[in-house]
Amino acid sequence: MNSNLSNVEIPPIDYFNHLLDNSPNKNKKISFGHGIPKYTPNEYANINYQLLNHSNSFKYTEIRGNIELRNYLAHSLSSKLNFNVKPDKNLIITPGANSAMFKSLFLLLNKNDEVLVISPAYFNYIMAIKMIGANPIEIDSDPEAGFQLNIKSIANSITSKTKAIIINSPNNPTGALYKNNDLIELFKICDSNNVKIILDITYHDYIHANNESDYLSLFSNFKNIIITGSFSKTFGITGLRLGYIATNSKSIDDLCKIQDTISICASSLSQQFLLNLLNYEQLAIETNLNAVKSSKETLISNLKNIPQLNWIQTDGAFYAFIELKFNMDSRKFAESLINLKSVLVLPGSIFGSKWKTYIRLAYGALNSNDVDEGMNRIKSFIDETT
Ligand SMILES: Cc1ncc(COP(=O)(O)O)c(C=O)c1O
């Protein structure tokens, strides 16, 4: 057995979904657990399934992925970054952004290297770093400042073992969109210490306010930067498993060795399906972003009536990382809430051991009625148990 695995958590989402499926409470199940947008392509696009019906949809693609898809992505990223991305040199399509992150970490790390991770953090980062035999160093973001970066702590945590920092903005689980000034400061620190930045832009299309939405234009080359991204949330296609890595050509050549060994390529059928959706990108984003904004309003108006919960509102993704202002461990909170009310929220502790008094609500997939109903049940659960 690979001894690194003994250190790695049990995947939490399946665990809590299973609890909800088996809840003794027979009310309609309401899940604030799923990090997925509401609308899938069958709801916003006119899909011509005949377009999938040719033999290439069933064969391997190039390791780097379908060239038409890379052309589109290169064009789209070049319009956001401050330089040109080349489809044949700087991109590799992966089976999702999680796969992109794992492969990027595998590219950079040796045993006992350190990776700085902003806490609370998407749990799969920590799991991946540990599996590879390196050490995640968790640096707290600042809850009072809406979970913004703490640049001083980051600078003070860099050692000779630090090889990379993972930055995820907009952020899962906090929804924070990092400030441009902080990112500029961070680049300088990483550059002078030769620390690579892995920038996970999975939620780039979920920015609710205009401030800082242009942060990708701060980047002027791929020297110390690896971008990992996803098509899952942009198009509502979490099950198609499509993401990508954008970085310098030498790293992409090495990433091809990793991708070839683990996956050969991303699913050809999924890539072909996505090609047929590209014309709908703006519609997909608008449809899902509007749904997110409307559920968020409903969430905010419900939170006003629950003084025992504290959310410093954030402007990205579709997550609220909410403080419990009473003495209950968040795991116990989540498990009891499922059992008594058939409502799923995730405990903050799965995003870092320090966050035991927080819960994460994913509000992207729910309509406003379900947010209302879920929040009413959370309120009555709190009133009954505290
Ligand atoms: C921050 C972040 N990165 C990556 C992913 C995984 O995305 P994908 O479906 O492309 O693997 C998620 C999924 O929730 C996420 O929250």
Pocket of ligand 1 contains residue 61 by CB under 6 Å: no
What was the pLDDT predicted at 32? 98
Dist. CA 170 → ligand 1 center (Å)? 12
Q: What number does the ligand 1 atom closest to the CA of 36 have?
A: 14
Per-residue pLDDT of the chain (386 residues; tens, 9 = 90+): 999 999 899 999 999 999 999 999 999 999 999 899 999 999 999 998 988 998 999 999 999 999 999 999 999 999 999 999 999 999 999 999 999 999 999 999 999 999 999 999 999 999 999 999 999 999 999 999 999 999 999 999 999 999 999 999 999 999 999 999 999 999 999 999 999 999 999 999 999 987 777 899 999 999 999 999 999 999 999 999 999 999 999 999 999 999 999 999 999 999 999 999 999 999 999 999 999 999 999 999 999 999 999 999 999 999 999 999 999 999 999 999 999 999 999 999 999 989 999 999 999 999 999 999 999 999 999 999 98
Q: Counting atoms of ligand 1 from 1, which one is nearest the CA of 238?
A: 9
Nearest residue CA, atom 16 of ligand 1?
Answer: 172
Separation of CA 84 and ligand 1 centre (Å): 25
> How confident is the model at residue 383, as a pLDDT?
96
Q: How far apart are CA 163 and CA 386, in angstroms?
A: 45
Q: Are 293 and 208 in contact (CB under 8 A)?
A: yes
For residues 167 and 185, give the distance between their C-alpha atoms in angstroms, rounded to a whole number.
13
Beta-sheet strand order (sheet of 346-347): 309-310, 319-324, 358-362, 346-347
**Whether residue 232 has its Cβ less than 6 Å from ligand 1:** yes
Closest to 319 measured CA to CA, from 107, 176, 161: 176
Q: What is the reported pLDDT for 350?
A: 96
228 lines ligand 1 (CB under 6 A): no
Longest dimension (CA), the chain: 61
* Residue 364 CB–ligand 1 contact under 6 Å: no
> What residue segments make up the domains of the chain, in order of their start?
3-41+282-381, 52-279
Both tokens of 48, joined, read: 């011509």
d(CA 363, CA 62): 37
CATH of 3-41+282-381 given 1.20.1250.20, 3.30.1490.100, 3.50.50.60, 3.90.1150.10? 3.90.1150.10
To test ligand 1's pocket by mutation, which of 171, 232, 274 has the most ligand atoms within 8 angstroms of CB? 232
**Ligand 1 near 174 CB (within 6 A):** no
DSSP state of 86: P
Distance (Å) from CA 121 to ligand 1 centroid: 12
Going from the Cα of 230 to the center of ligand 1, the distance in angstroms, rounded, reads 7
Q: What Cα–Cα distance (Å) separates residue 357 from each residue in 211, 247, 322?
A: 29, 38, 8
Residue 155: name the closest of 195, 123, 119, 122 by CA. Answer: 195
Q: In whole angstroms, how far apart are CA 360 and each of 216, 331, 355, 379? A: 26, 11, 10, 15
Residue ranges in the chain assigned as alpha helix (H): 12-21, 41-44, 67-80, 97-108, 123-131, 151-157, 180-192, 232-235, 249-262, 268-275, 281-303, 330-341, 368-385
SS3 363: coil
| Residue 206 beta carbon below 6 angstroms from any ligand 1 atom | no
Of 229, 154, 164, nearest to 186 by C-alpha is 154
**What is the rounded CA–CA span in Å between residue 343 and residue 341?**
5
pLDDT at 382: 97
Q: Which atom of ligand 1 is nearest to the CA of 98?
A: 11
* Ligand 1 in reach of 200 Cβ (< 6 A): yes
- Fold category of 52-279 in CATH: Aspartate Aminotransferase; domain 2 (3.40.640)
Which of 36, 124, 360 should be mutated for ligand 1, with most atoms under 8 A from CB? 124
- Contact between 77 and 246 under an 8 Å Cβ cutoff? The reply is yes
pLDDT of residue 211: 74
In contact, 285 and 279? CB cutoff 8 Å: no
Question: How far does the centroid of ligand 1 lie from the alpha carbon of residue 228, in Å?
Answer: 10
Among the atoms of ligand 1, which is closest to the Cα of residue 122? Answer: 1
